[in-house]
Amino acid sequence: MRILLAIIMLSFAFGAEAQSKKNPIKEFKIWVNGQQLDVDNLDVLCVEDDLQTFANFRWTLTDSTGQTLSQGFIKMTGADYVDYVTKPNHGDRAVLFVMRELKLVRKQQTAATQAARQAATAITPKQ
């Protein structure tokens, strides 16, 4: 039984890697090797999940050419993990969790927010 569980967990881990994709984020500057570079993508990959209480994610920040500028790990536990395992769209939930923890904003959300602000402050001509 333990061997079967180990095989299932390994297949899940390798399957998660295939689902990794670029997530455009609001561009910001980062200092790397004495240079200030633009970060504009986030990759998130589930590297460990005990299927009961926690999941660990590797995050990578890249530039527009795909060059890795920074990376690290974040552990998900508690209510965030319960949502992650009980609701659909695990990949999207993982990305949103990492973005929240790193205080990042999706590129599309930024454009939508700016458009809403412009519409709210626009002066309508009198007829």
Per-residue pLDDT of the chain (127 residues; tens, 9 = 90+): 555 444 455 444 444 443 455 677 777 778 888 888 888 889 999 999 999 999 999 999 998 888 899 999 999 999 999 999 999 998 899 999 999 999 888 776 555 566 666 676 666 555 5
Residue 58 lies in a domain: yes
What's the pTM value of the predicted model, to 2 decimals?
Answer: 0.66
Closest residue by Cα to residue 93 from 16, 7, 14: 16
Q: Give the residue ranges of DSSP H helices in the chain.
A: 2-18, 78-86, 90-102, 107-121
Residue 34 lies in a domain: yes
Residue 27 lies in a domain: yes
Q: How many domains does the chain have?
A: 1
Note down the domain range covering 27: 2-120
Residue 127 lies in a domain: no
